[in-house]
């Protein structure tokens, strides 16, 4: 299936809002612009194969084609004529991207090794020489200059294309001047370029002509405008999602408050829900939200999100909420995730459209813009080049929602695997419950059991007690702490009395 149909089908099947569809890349319209660019190049005698010879060096030492870099101050092309396609952008964002095609003729050497390049080059050289020697461009004050640079612009006149020696575009001159080229005579030159005459005598060693195409300017202006619309949409949706996350955060904090009776709080239910969510790794691998390399694609996110919903449904947690509002907030949380997914799907399909339309432009024109255009506009648009929307939203969600309720895994003693109540932080940074460290000392084990830091266990004393973590455990893990204390008391009893039953005679 052609990509234009895939794009349209995706926008329909994923139920993309109409406002988003209006902001999407207009792939079909851009394709029509490319067709017009090809028509204008053919009008100049610059068919695709011709441009390949003129834009690339077929005689490189390693046998591969390379773009010929033409120095603006001293042009010494290897072919009889060379083309250089340039994209320029002003620091003023309100001004459009300006593309232009510079044709450089070299009169110094007519000896060429490749017959086909020789033929192509001389034919095009002949056409442009006729153009440059036309009376419309003649300047009585210039007799046999060493170099000459002129600008022409292709314009549409009805269904016909004409060449006009007048343009109001500001483009950099051969010597880097920012002043615009303006030629006063606007007489049509379309007949001149298509006529066949005998080659004219050489006027100068090097001649340059800058050709302003018409449709390529429209193509880049249209594409740039669509990127601006996508930037605005991304910013708007990001603000919307952040607002939803803040709302959910406020609600969850109230519904899971540890400062009320366990019979009136949904603390444990929300903790269980968030643990399932983290284990599902919907958008990223756990604790890797700062790495774009670990970000899931839209299809994987959709699959993971559905698996999360299925696991929650199967667990029956939502049926055990003590407060009715908890179910409403959970549904809001799910809705927010699906909305983020839709934004990511929209971003993904437009990123693909952007890549493919530039690839198509190059395929049909050989003007090599698929890498240069993105670099040129990289700092102006956040839709593609900015931070991943999934990264920014997931980071906010993780810091303001998921961390509201601490997970038991983060406060578990690695030895007994229960809550590390009365946590002792060793000099190496590892944390254990005091009971397990006492046992290690009784066994004459002095090094950290995790990293083997020397004498870390022996040196630990009352100053190593992590009071802040202990207070948090009492607040957020009351049942686990109660069970821990019960186990501790039982161990102490067994140590003192022994495991044999006491018999009263």
Domains of the chain, residue spans: 35-220, 223-405, 409-497
Handedness of CA 468, 473, 478, 483 (dihedral sign): negative
pLDDT of residue 200: 41
Q: What is the mean pLDDT of residues 392-399?
A: 86
- 350: closest CA among 231, 245, 482? 231
- Which two three-digit tokens encode residue 267? 């603390």
Give the span between the Cα atoms of 46 and 397, in whole angstroms: 55
In 295-433, which ranges are continuous DSSP H helix? 298-315, 324-365, 372-377, 382-385, 389-400
pTM here?
A: 0.75
Other beta carbons less than 10 A from residue 46's beta carbon: 24
DSSP state of 97: P
More confident residue, 181 or 475: 475
Q: What is the mean pLDDT of residues 143-170?
A: 70
Grade residue 395 by pLDDT with cuts at 50, 70 and 90.
Answer: confident
- Which two three-digit tokens encode residue 248? 């959910």
More confident residue, 78 or 477: 477
pLDDT of residue 105: 64
The upper half-sphere exposure of residue 215, i.e. CA atoms within 13 Å in the direction of its Cβ, equals 19
Q: What is the mean pLDDT of residues 69-83?
A: 47
Using the predicted structure, report yes or no on whether residue 499 has a pLDDT greater than 90. no
Grade residue 196 by pLDDT with cuts at 50, 70 and 90.
Answer: very low
- Which two three-digit tokens encode residue 110? 């007519």
Using only C-alpha atoms, the chain has a radius of gyration, in whole angstroms, of 36
Q: What is the pLDDT of residues 266-304, one digit of tens each?
A: 999 999 999 999 999 998 875 555 555 567 888 899 999
Q: What percent of the chain has pLDDT over 70?
A: 72
Nearest-5° Cα angle at 334, 336 to 299: 85
pLDDT of residue 253: 94
> Which of 3.30.40.10, 3.40.630.10, 3.20.10.10, 3.30.70.80 is the CATH number of 409-497?
3.30.40.10
More confident residue, 273 or 77: 273
Alpha-carbon torsion angle 69, 209, 223, 96, nearest 10: 110
């Amino acid at each position: 299936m052609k990509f234009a149909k895939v794009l349209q089908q995706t926008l329909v099947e994923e139920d993309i809002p109409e406002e988003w569809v209006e902001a999407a890349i207009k792939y079909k319209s851009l394709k029509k612009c490319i067709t017009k660019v090809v028509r204008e190049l053919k009008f100049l005698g610059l068919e695709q194969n011709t441009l390949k010879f003129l834009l690339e060096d077929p005689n490189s030492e390693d046998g591969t084609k390379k773009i010929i870099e033409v120095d603006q101050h001293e042009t010494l092309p290897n072919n009889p004529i060379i083309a250089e396609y340039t994209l320029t952008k002003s620091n003023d964002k309100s001004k459009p991207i300006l593309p232009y095609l510079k044709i450089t003729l070299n009169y110094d050497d007519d000896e060429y090794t490749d017959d086909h390049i020789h033929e192509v080059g001389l034919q095009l050289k002949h056409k442009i020489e006729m153009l440059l020697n036309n009376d419309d461009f003649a300047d009585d004050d210039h007799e046999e200059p060493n170099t000459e640079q002129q600008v022409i612009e292709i314009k549409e006149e009805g269904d016909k294309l004409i060449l006009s020696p007048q343009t109001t575009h500001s483009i950099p001159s051969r010597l880097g001047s920012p002043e615009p080229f303006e030629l006063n005579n606007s007489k049509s030159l379309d007949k001149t370029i298509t006529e066949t005459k005998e080659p004219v005598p050489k006027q100068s060693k090097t001649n340059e002509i800058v050709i302003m195409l018409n449709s390529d300017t429209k193509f880049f202006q249209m594409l740039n405008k669509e990127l601006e619309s996508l930037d605005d949409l991304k910013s708007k949706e990001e603000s919307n999602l952040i607002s939803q996350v803040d709302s959910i955060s406020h609600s969850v904090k109230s519904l899971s408050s540890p400062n009320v009776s366990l019979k009136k709080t949904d603390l444990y239910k929300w903790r269980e829900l968030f643990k399932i969510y983290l284990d599902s790794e919907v958008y990223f691998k756990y604790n890797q939200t700062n790495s774009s390399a670990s970000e899931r694609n839209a299809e994987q996110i959709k699959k993971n999100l559905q698996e999360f919903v299925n696991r929650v449904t199967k667990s029956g947690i939502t049926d055990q909420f003590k407060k009715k509002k908890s179910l409403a907030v959970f549904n809001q949380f799910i809705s927010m995730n699906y909305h983020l997914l839709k934004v990511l799907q929209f971003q993904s399909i437009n990123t693909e459209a952007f890549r493919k339309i530039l690839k198509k432009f190059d395929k049909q024109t050989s003007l090599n813009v698929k890498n240069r255009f993105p670099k040129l506009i990289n700092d102006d648009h956040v839709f593609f080049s900015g931070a991943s929307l999934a990264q920014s939203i997931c980071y906010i969600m993780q810091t303001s929602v998921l961390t509201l309720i601490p997970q038991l895994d983060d406060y578990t003693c690695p030895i007994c695997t229960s809550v590390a109540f009365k946590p002792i932080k060793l000099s190496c940074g590892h944390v254990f419950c005091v009971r397990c460290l006492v046992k290690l000392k009784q066994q004459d084990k002095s090094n950290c059991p995790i990293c083997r830091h020397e004498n870390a266990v022996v040196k630990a004393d009352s100053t190593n007690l992590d009071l802040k973590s202990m207070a948090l455990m009492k607040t957020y893990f009351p049942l686990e702490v109660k069970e821990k204390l019960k186990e501790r008391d039982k161990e102490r009893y067994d140590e003192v009395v022994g495991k044999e039953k006491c018999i009263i005679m």
